[in-house]
Chain A
Amino acid sequence: MNHIVNVGDFKIGCDGDMLVTHALGSCLGLTVFDPVAKVGGLLHAMLSLSSINPQKAQANPAMFVDTGVPMLFRSLYEKGALKGRLVVKAAGCGNPMGKNEVFKIGERNYTVLKKLLWKNNILLESEDVGGTNSRTIHFDVSNGQVTLSSAGIKRLL
């Protein structure tokens, strides 16, 4: 069954589920999969740090990378996932054209993600980040396959 993950949201799926998120511009799309427990999660986080808007972060932790990512991992552990088996993939974090530092929201999202993963000894299996394209993720939790659609082209991540 298809489950759509909106901006500032995450969903956990099991065997037979397809987790989908559209229109990743500067936002981070993160997929985490346990091939043994056959559970997976998809996060669509908008902004890097919960300190931007603590009130929002409390109501909706998935909006921010620093609160959304830990929540995604915790929810998977509750479903039987084990840290050592997790396959983690990232997409999105795009930026508009030019060198306008003020608009580097995507870059900030990516930096915070990398810091978080590094601190927790987790490596990214693959990533497709940056650039100006908008991306859509289809995450098939039956087999862990992550398909990226971007500018009319589909490919496996």
Chain B
Amino acid sequence: MTTKEHPIVAQVEKFPGMPGAAVKLLTLVDDPDVSIAQIESILRQDPGLTANLLRLANSAYFGIPSKVGSVRQAVILLGLKRMVQMVIATCTSAIMDRTVPGYDLPAGELWRHSLAVSVAAEGLVRALKLDGGEEVFTAALLHDVGKIILGQFVHNDYVKIALALDQGLPFETAESIVLGTNHAEVGAQVLSKWSLPEGIVHAVRWHHEPEQAQRIDPIMDVVHVANMLCLMIGIGVGREGLNYRPSPVVTKRLGITTSHLEKVASQTLQWANELSQALAA
């Protein structure tokens, strides 16, 4: 997978980039001196994005009682981090809405899964009272972006992958054996090309193999658990079914119990619907 000629690498390089406004906003997130005027001037160049952003800010999921009518209000009420998350969600929905071969996901299902994992991950962060969980939304939203590229390759080599699954291997290991890479790794490559923060790239890269990561990170752990939970409740579960292995090390270090999982699961559909309605309108 290191040669430039490899067809999967070529697909990663050809993959659409992030829109300019999103990239500019991302670079501002960690700037303590950023002003609302700067944000307004970036968004002014993209009225479509601004409109989508305001619709999202008004979605039931965020629970803001008054109507958010301007970028200024959205930044004040939601904060810049939330705003940038919503910009990313708005910009990626079109890419993630497609049919995904290989995993046999009909149009819209990967996106529905992505939204569900995002809200479930945020639910887990709240339930476990974790610090620094702000980045979990975007990491969860984009954790499966690699499936869009890898799907065709999984489809072409499914017979070999199925043979590896018959040996009792988890799906991402079967992908690695047959294709030389897996959807988590490919997703991480896309996100680093998009210049997303390292923490997000790291969480996406290891979302199926958190025990292999060099660094322990609660965001990675929460995405790992939230993803598994959403597959279990049937949101975005594809041909591979539940052929993934939830890490006992992660559940232990998060201190997570079945009761946490069940409580979050019982609310996930409603939260995901609230968000997706705002994005689909």
Contacts and interface: CB of A to CB of B under 8 A. Distances in A.
Contacts of B239: 134, 151-152
Interface of A: 7-8, 22-27, 46-48, 52-53, 56, 63, 94-106, 108, 132-134, 150-152
Interface of B: 168, 170, 228-229, 231-235, 237-239, 241-248, 251, 256-259, 261-263, 265-267, 269
Contacts of A25: 231-234, 237, 241-242
B234 A96 contact: no
Contacts of B243: 96-97, 132
Contacts, number: 110
A133 B241 contact: yes
Contacts of A95: 232, 242
B258 A47 contact: no
Contact of A134 (B237, B247, B258, B265): B237
Given A25-B234, A98-B245, A134-B241, 16 more contacts: A7-B234, A8-B269, A25-B233, A25-B242, A26-B232, A47-B266, A52-B263, A63-B266, A97-B170, A97-B244, A100-B245, A100-B246, A100-B248, A102-B256, A132-B242, A151-B241
A26 B170 CA distance: 17
Given A8-B269, A24-B234, A26-B232, A105 B262 contact: yes
A7 B233 contact: yes
B251 A100 contact: yes
B242 A134 contact: yes
5 contacts: A27-B234, A47-B266, A96-B228, A105-B265, A108-B258
A97 B266 CA distance: 22
Nearest to A54: B266
B232 A96 contact: yes
Nearest 5 Cβ contacts at the A-B interface: A23-B234, A53-B266, A26-B232, A97-B245, A134-B241
Contacts of A132: 241-243
A22 B239 CA distance: 12
A56 B267 contact: yes
A52 B251 contact: no
Contacts of B231: 25, 96
B245 A134 contact: no
Nearest to B106: A22
A106 B229 CA distance: 11
B263 A46 contact: no
B242 A133 contact: yes
Contacts of A26: 232-234, 242
A96 B251 contact: no
Contacts of A134: 234, 237-239, 241-242
Contacts of B262: 47-48, 52-53, 105
A102 B238 CA distance: 22
Contact of A96 (B238, B242, B257): B242
A108 B237 CA distance: 20
Contacts of A98: 245-246, 248
B253 to A, nearest CB: 12
A97 B263 contact: no
Nearest to A48: B262
B258 A96 contact: no
Contacts of B251: 100, 102-103
B240 to A, nearest CB: 8
Contacts of A106: 232
A23 B244 contact: no
A47 B242 contact: no
Nearest to A6: B269
